Chains A and B, each alone.
Chain A
């Protein structure tokens, strides 16, 4: 709760005073989260870094744009939403949208060079590979809930869905992830 108020105060400073330092603090708080969120979908370090930078710049612009704009309920909701939209734009632009359903699982295989190059635990890389093969919606929800450990309410805000919807999707996503891991 205390952290939440601190975050609100920082957002307020950015909105009202265009406070760089406050935004710097927000950056520190979210940079790793947003990077992970982007990277898990792209599996490309450079692209992930570029997109993450872009996300923060867009966030700054959004916060400092027009004072008549509606209030920010939570910074996490905003920054993740911007990240999602940026990703959508990126995939659309590059035409490299990678959405994998269970049906296309066999075609994908273990093609990520990055994963092979880095020395990681076998099971973690395994999960990441499987996650990449899943639908973007499922990827996001698992990432937000179990990797970033956000609450259902926060996820609902980020994905602009109802809480019950989030719960159902999460349940399905977890079930599919389990099936895929078992098959592997």
Chain B
């Protein structure tokens, strides 16, 4: 078959056999061109006299040109091409519309979605070793978004809370990713990031702390939750700084003065915050102790626990609870606190319950005392530790970071201790009064003060 094809190809090359005579080709061309020139001349003359060129003709001319010069399979490409163009238009318009959207706006979701896509795209296009700075940048960006959300006014509080919650979660996630990628990067890369890691993580922790403060006014429980996350982020920020510093030391590179200053500032800020937290916890603990010792807590208990304790008081003390004076309550407290076995025998059922509750209160009181002692010790040694950190920053920066971490842990523990004790005492103690650091003197109060505390 191949041979046959070769033979067929040769037919074309066989001169004089199947090809025209060259002289005839030329002669015929001349003849043909002359013939068509004559007809063309006549036609063009007629055309000039007759039809002027109009829009229709121009359009036809254009479409014909398009059809002639565009590829023949263009028609089959037209549909996917149109779809692609439409998709591109929609995407671009969406992007443009959402470019200036702020949290809570209609296009905020679109903006966020675009942001996520862009982030993923950037991560895909980046080498593993270069991902850490990107993750850090994303975490920083999320912290800014959180700030925007918190600062945004005129949003439905429920919606705002949800947005804050989501933004905090995003910050946490991005910070975790940054931490994870920092662990993996090479010492050379890490050594270049010391300053950046310290500055950005410090900023993130600060944003979370500020958020907690701003939210506290409206929702103390939520604020507590955010505060916990802020503490965790502080811890993580120190860990991250430690990782990069460690890697830089491993790479046998010296930490510059500039980097040292940035880390020092970071540590100073963490220590400053810890100091505040420790003092706050100490104040709370002291108030608790004071409350237990002076009996103010018992009064709170009786006044505020309207469902439980006050009902019992109603049973034991004759008369309308709304007209119960503080004096009568005091009498009752005294009776309960000095309960003897004899009293128990003679007391009615409600008195027994009161005695049990009072017992648990005393136990809590012991706990509070313990916590106060721990806190006191912690705060006492705190100042010494802080001084130690200051010295260490100059001598051994890694050790300084570690010491700060330890401080952070001990203060966190102490704050947790106070907080747990407060929670335990909650059924007995006026929550708001103690938390806000107020010591309400109910003993001097009258019916009005009693009812106002009840409302709280």
Contacts and interface: CB of A to CB of B under 8 A. Distances in A.
Interface of A: 5, 8, 11-12, 15-16, 18, 20, 23-24, 27-28, 31-32, 35-36, 39-40, 45, 48-49, 52-53, 56-57, 60, 64, 67-68, 71-73, 115, 118-121, 123-125, 127-128, 142, 146-149, 174, 177-178, 181
A40 B12 CA distance: 11
A148 B65 CA distance: 28
Given A57-B32, A147-B11, A174-B4, A15 B64 contact: yes
Contacts of B338: none
Q: Chain A binding site: helix, strand, loop or mixed by DSSP?
A: helix
B12 A36 contact: yes
B8 interface: yes
Contacts of A73: 72
Question: Nearest 5 A-B pairs (CB), nearest first?
Answer: A146-B8, A35-B20, A71-B67, A124-B14, A18-B40
A20 B29 contact: no
B419 to A, nearest CB: 78
A133 to B, nearest CB: 15
A118 B20 contact: no
Nearest to B31: A53
Contacts of A11: 68
Nearest to A35: B20
B36 A36 contact: no
Nearest to B67: A71
Given A40-B18, A68-B60, A121 B10 contact: yes
A4 to B, nearest CB: 10
A123 B5 CA distance: 12
Contacts of A124: 7, 10-11, 14, 17
A35 B19 contact: yes
Given A28-B29, A52-B28, A57-B36, 14 more contacts: A12-B69, A31-B20, A31-B29, A35-B20, A48-B20, A49-B20, A49-B24, A53-B31, A67-B61, A72-B68, A121-B10, A128-B11, A149-B9, A178-B4
A49 B29 CA distance: 12
A81 B205 CA distance: 81
A148 B102 CA distance: 69
B1 A178 contact: yes
A74 to B, nearest CB: 8
Nearest to A120: B17
Contact of B8 (A5, A18, A142): A142
A127 B7 contact: yes
Interface in B1-55: 1, 4-5, 7-12, 14, 16-21, 24-25, 28-29, 31-33, 35-37, 40, 43-44
B19 A36 contact: yes
A63 to B, nearest CB: 10
A122 to B, nearest CB: 11
A32 B10 contact: no
B57 interface: yes
A93 B37 CA distance: 29
A77 B105 CA distance: 61
B69 A24 contact: no
A142 B12 CA distance: 12
A71 B12 contact: no
Given A18-B40, A124-B11, A148-B12, A32 B68 contact: no
B12 A23 contact: no
Contacts of B43: 18, 64
A12 B61 CA distance: 10
B19 A118 contact: no
Contacts of A16: 61
A20 B32 CA distance: 10
Interface string B43-87: 110000000000001001100110111001000000000000000
Given A20-B33, A127-B8, A147-B8, A8 B69 contact: yes
Contacts of A177: 4
Nearest to A48: B20
B14 A121 contact: yes
A4 B9 CA distance: 22
Max chain B Cβ within 10 angstroms of own Cβ: one of A48, A64, A124, A128: A124
B115 to A, nearest CB: 44
Contact of A20 (B20, B36, B67): B36
21 contacts: A31-B25, A39-B20, A49-B20, A52-B20, A53-B32, A56-B32, A64-B43, A68-B60, A71-B68, A115-B17, A120-B17, A121-B10, A124-B7, A124-B10, A127-B11, A128-B11, A128-B17, A147-B9, A149-B9, A178-B1, A178-B4
B44 A71 contact: no
Given A20-B40, A181-B4, A118 B33 contact: no
Nearest to B4: A178
Nearest to A56: B32
